[in-house]
Chain A
Amino acid sequence: MVFTCTVLCARRDFDKYWKRRRIFQLSAHFEGRKRNCYSVAVRYVHRAFAYTTNSRKLKKKAVRRRWIDRIHAGAAEFGSTYEALITGLGRCHISLNHQTLSNLAV
């Protein structure tokens, strides 16, 4: 085969530019060399990914804790407690969840 122009696939790492572009897009809001230097940015982007996956579980716990506090505050306005309110609602077959109860309490 005869090639008149330089063959792109003969280069060693054709996708290097685009691979790094993917990482730099995600690290655009980081500080310093984490933003522009690939070997540093890769590590911190992976960390950011790991944080997002882990924090999804933690968020649920934190948010539920916040709902419980708000329900307790709303119940205390009427001289009751969170436990009394929740058990009472359960006995009356009212299945409003903690999110809606905290929305109503706020």
Chain B
Amino acid sequence: MSIVRPLLSRISSFTYSACQQEHVCTRSVRTISKSLQAMNLNERVRPAQEIVEDTSLEEEAQRKVIIEKVNSQIEKSTHGRLYAIIHLMGKQRKVTDGDLIQMEGNFPPIAGDKIRLEKVMLVGSSDFTILGRPILRPDLVRVEATVVERNLSYTKIRFIKKKRSNFMRSRFLKYPTTILRINSIEITGKLDERPEIEGVEGRTF
């Protein structure tokens, strides 16, 4: 099935009639080119109908093959070490099992607390990556971490001086930092198998 591009149909009606004639008047060519320029078209666009083939069926078949392969790896857990990109404290971090992460700012959990990191944007292994739009659904991936340490950062200096103006302001700041240890990243669900009701896990009514 061929699809005709609708954007160019206006131009095609313009020039097709000109091409049909044996002798193309120079005046008519100039007016056509001027009108094309007036439309602000890219030089590469040819004023003719393009035939675009419909490859949606092939793409569907390819997609199913890939998803089957990934699901089989998930089932047998042969994917190996997983990495994930997590959105935490306003920042995105690339993370694997056993990583230590440091975060600055007010993070309520104290040392020893076990946490589940929910905002997972990407999960990957050596063979595949699963991208979330923008986040992966919670029944697909599970990232667990423990809080190792809560401390203050090194002293950060905020200093302004204007020379010869007797103006000098200094401020010495220390922000609270936490260090997390990523315990595990697991893919707990399969691709293309969404539950009937979503957003209910772990919630109490």
Question: Which residues between 19 and 58 of chain A lie within 8 Å of chain B, taking CB atoms?
Answer: 46, 49-50, 52-53
Q: Does any Cβ of A come within 8 Å of B161's Cβ?
A: yes
With A94-B131, A94-B134, A96-B85: A50-B159 Cβ-Cβ less than 8 Å:
yes
Contact A104 B133, beta carbon cutoff 8 Å: no
Q: Provide the bound-state CA to CA distance between A93 and B157, in Å.
A: 38
Other-chain contact of A46, B91, B92, B159 (Cβ < 8 Å): B159
Q: Does any Cβ of B come within 8 Å of A80's Cβ?
A: no
State the interface size on chain B (CB cutoff 8 A). 18
- Give the chain B neighbours of A53 by CB distance below 8 A: 157-160
Q: Does any Cβ of B come within 8 Å of A6's Cβ?
A: no
Interface centre among B85, B94, B122 (most CB of A within 10 A): B85
Contact A49 B159, beta carbon cutoff 8 Å: yes
Q: Provide the bound-state CA to CA distance between A96 and B132, in Å.
A: 9
Q: Does any Cβ of A come within 8 Å of B182's Cβ?
A: no
Contact B92 A52, beta carbon cutoff 8 Å: no
Question: Which residues between 84 and 102 of chain A lie within 8 Å of chain B, taking CB atoms?
Answer: 92-97, 99-100
State the interface size on chain A (CB cutoff 8 A). 15
Contact B134 A99, beta carbon cutoff 8 Å: no
Which A-chain residue is minimally distant from B94 (CB atoms)? A103
Given contacts A46-B159, A46-B161, A100-B85, 19 further A-B contacts (CB under 8 A): A49-B157, A49-B159, A49-B170, A50-B161, A52-B157, A53-B157, A53-B160, A93-B133, A94-B131, A94-B132, A94-B133, A94-B134, A95-B134, A96-B92, A99-B91, A100-B93, A100-B94, A100-B122, A104-B94
Enumerate 27 A-B pairs (CB-CB under 8 Å) in ascending A order.
Answer: A46-B159, A46-B161, A46-B168, A49-B159, A49-B170, A50-B159, A50-B161, A52-B157, A52-B159, A53-B159, A53-B160, A92-B133, A93-B133, A94-B132, A94-B133, A95-B121, A95-B134, A96-B122, A96-B131, A97-B92, A100-B85, A100-B92, A100-B93, A100-B121, A100-B122, A103-B94, A104-B94
